[in-house]
Amino acid sequence: MKYKEGSEIRDAKAPSGPIEERWEKRKFSAKLVNPANKRKLHVIVVGTGLAGGSAAATLGELGYNVTSFCYQDSPRRAHSIAAQGGINAAKNYRGDGDSIYRLFYDTVKGGDFRARESNVYRLAQVSVNIIDQAVAQGVPFAREYGGLLDTRSFGGAQVSRTFYARGQTGQQLLLGAYQALERQVAAGTVTMHTRHEMLDLIVSDGRARGVIVRDMVTGEIERHVADAVVLATGGYGNVFFLSTNAKGCNTTAIWRAHERGAYFANPCYTQIHPTCIPVSGEYQSKLTLMSESLRNDGRVWVPLRKDDSRAPGDIPEQERDYYLERIYPAFGNLVPRDIASRAAKNVCDEGRGVGPGGLGVYLDFRDAIGRLGRDAVEKKYGNLFEMYERITGENPYDVPMRIYPAVHYTMGGLWVDYDLQSTIPGLFVIGEANFSDHGANRLGASALMQGLADGYFVLPTTIGDYLADGPYNDVDEEAVAAAELRVRDKIDRLLSVNGTRTPDSFHRELGKLMWDYCGMERTEESLRKALERIPELRAEFWQNVKVTGTAEELNQVLEKAGRVADFFDLAELMCLDALVRTESCGGHFRAESQDSDGEALRDDEHFAYVSAWERAPDGPVLHKEPLEYEYVKMTQRSYK
């Protein structure tokens, strides 16, 4: 696939000066909107997960006129509800040496020095407010015996800063955001449209001015215009077909905004989570995460010997290899996800994997149960153990869990500046849908932190700076009509192919191709193969897909077909980005670039940049945003 290199891109909004003062400085310099004017300003928020739900609620509370969309039947069903393990915050309740600076440092290092310092520092600062906000809403975080909020540890940190609500942290946080949102719906500041899918962005006079949505129940195509649009539409891990994401997660909203001019940043950075229930068969359509919190007490191991088929209980202690504790004594089982995933792959590649096909490692709670007692373990992780048992039929209190890495999160997303504004003025992107804070690898429990930081605290301030110049002129009718026509055309095209293969079968094939060629390990050869195969498969899709039903009814096949069509184009960009970045960093492991211990080898001289891709008629254009580190020294990451 051909691409061109374009001009350098810079984050013009990022303030300079001492890092701890930058967010204050930006807040002060941002223009304010007089309360009486706020109700004249209209903001569309697409997505009601933690990012979108918290943003819409807060904008409504501020007095803006908000319209909110999601494709589920309730805002409460956004994928955020699935988040299990917890949310980070630099509260230092434990007095174990945590601080804003340490959370900032851990996140920059965890992201393998591919995130912006200013953004990450702000995230760490705001993290402490999120916990207060959630507690004030009544989110039932776990508490210690003395009544204080409890914390646990997550990967890439040597302090305990993860706040949690058993294994249901996302659910409890989302209920908090949802209640705040519903309060605004009742107050009339937020108008909610569930079961509506955004299918295009309206850009008028160079500004994002609205969306075209399809009512998923009646099939009606609707136009909605506003002064600004916020996309909070989540991640695109489902491009791999099998992932831990909810089945509905897709790329359509951000991809179509990309087609309208928003740059796409770092598409190749995918997070593979080390602790998921292994794939069990060819017809499986979903993978299940076993939360990283389990690595607080569970020990990861495989047999020392190859092809050891003994039951785990029959393998004596001296014949077990607790490989994470052995290779990374300083962080042990709590190394970051990219490192733990690769280590699991390596031991399985050596023939020491366990379970069907040798694609699994043990996560063992024997010692924790011995030390703390079964009741204590059950209190912390009971629902996760139950989920594991229901899926595998094995009782993890008696036999170790079997786990294997799986696609989990996408660090890439639409490019945004410090204000969370994309390259299209008036289009803001928050939560997993943007690329902003995690570099090449996200640390566990930091996605909820970022989504809520964006939605409750950052966007409500920065969007004001943009809206202060509004209300904007009437929207160009032609731009609206053109966007609607594009949507109708695409639907008609999909329905008219009338081939023989389901959208799902194409998705499955694309996903397998992505996993094999652009998954946990990438090589120049594999990426070139993918870039050859994806256009062929896409061409077959457009000639042979079978979309049953009509456009004027509830039609899940049609919905799926539209999303798969976008996955094809995204997959191609992901592989191109992965091919261009010949270094390894974080979740992007190029087999050609590793050190003598098999660890990811960065190339700071050539790749210390964010790749921001523009979609142009004659092929993608790569704009590089240089990454400069004033506070954290770029070093080869070590967790040993």
Ligand X SMILES: Cc1cc2nc3c(=O)[nH]c(=O)nc-3n(C[C@H](O)[C@H](O)[C@H](O)COP(=O)(O)OP(=O)(O)OC[C@H]3O[C@@H](n4cnc5c(N)ncnc54)[C@H](O)[C@@H]3O)c2cc1C
- Contact residues: ligand X, CB under 6 A: 46-52, 69-72, 78-80, 82-87, 169-170, 197-198, 232-235, 244-245, 249, 252-253, 289, 408-409, 431-433, 445-448, 451
- Among 443, 470, 562, smallest CA distance to 86 is for 443
Distance CA 137, CA 58 (A): 13
| 571's tokens | 């997959």
Alpha helices in 188-336 (DSSP H): 252-259, 323-327
Q: Are strands 65-69 and 190-193 parallel, antiparallel or unpaired?
A: parallel
Please name the amino acid found at residue 301: W
CA 380 centroid distance within chain: 25
| Nearest-approach distance from CB 37 to ligand X, in angstroms | 28
Q: Is the CB of 303 or the CB of 439 nearer to ligand X?
A: 439
Distance CA 437, CA 74 (A): 28
| Nearest-approach distance from CB 80 to ligand X, in angstroms | 3
| Nearest-approach distance from CB 8 to ligand X, in angstroms | 28
Q: Is the CB of 51 or the CB of 202 nearer to ligand X?
A: 51
Q: Is the CB of 98 or the CB of 432 nearer to ligand X?
A: 432
- Return all residues near 474 (Cβ < 8 A) that are at least 6 apart: none
Please name the amino acid found at residue 86: G
DSSP 443: P
In this structure, are residues 260 and 299 in contact, taking their beta carbons and an 8 Å threshold?
no
Distance CA 385, CA 166 (A): 12
Max distance between CA atoms of the chain, in angstroms, equals: 74
- Return all residues near 95 (Cβ < 8 A) that are at least 6 apart: none
Q: Is the CB of 323 or the CB of 567 nearer to ligand X?
A: 567
Q: Is the CB of 158 or the CB of 194 nearer to ligand X?
A: 194
Distance CA 465, CA 486 (A): 31
- The number of helices, as runs of H, and strands, as runs of E, in the chain is 18, 20
Rounded to a whole number of angstroms, the distance between the first and last alpha carbons of the chain is 39
Distance CA 585, CA 594 (A): 10
| Nearest-approach distance from CB 408 to ligand X, in angstroms | 6
Q: Is the CB of 246 or the CB of 369 nearer to ligand X?
A: 246
| Nearest-approach distance from CB 256 to ligand X, in angstroms | 8
Give whole-number Cα distances, 510 to 250, 305, 567, in Å.
14, 35, 8
| Nearest-approach distance from CB 434 to ligand X, in angstroms | 9
Q: Is the CB of 52 or the CB of 460 nearer to ligand X?
A: 52
Phi (first) and psi of residue 268, to 5 degrees: -80, -10
Q: Is the CB of 347 or the CB of 430 nearer to ligand X?
A: 430
Phi (first) and psi of residue 573, to 5 degrees: -65, -35
Q: Is 265 exposed, middle or buried (0-12, 13-18, 19+ CB in 10 A)?
A: buried
Distance CA 126, CA 120 (A): 10
| Nearest-approach distance from CB 211 to ligand X, in angstroms | 8
| Nearest-approach distance from CB 84 to ligand X, in angstroms | 5
Q: Is the CB of 388 or the CB of 607 nearer to ligand X?
A: 388
Is 337 a known active-site residue? yes
Of the residues 102, 152, 337, 538, only one is catalytic, namely 337
DSSP 203: E
The count of other CB atoms within 10 Å of the CB of residue 162 is: 27
Buried b (16+ CB within 10 A) or exposed e, 19-35: beebbeebbeebeebee
Q: Is the CB of 514 or the CB of 608 nearer to ligand X?
A: 514
| Nearest-approach distance from CB 468 to ligand X, in angstroms | 26
| Nearest-approach distance from CB 264 to ligand X, in angstroms | 15
Q: Is the CB of 432 or the CB of 465 nearer to ligand X?
A: 432
| 556's tokens | 């899940």
Distance CA 365, CA 377 (A): 9
Q: Is the CB of 51 or the CB of 510 nearer to ligand X?
A: 51
- Return all residues near 161 (Cβ < 8 A) that are at least 6 apart: 88, 89, 90, 91, 92, 98, 103, 151, 153, 154
Give whole-number Cα distances, 501 to 242, 540, 566, 571, in Å.
19, 9, 17, 20
- Return all residues near 576 (Cβ < 8 A) that are at least 6 apart: 1, 3, 531, 620
CA 293 centroid distance within chain: 18
Catalytic residues: 337
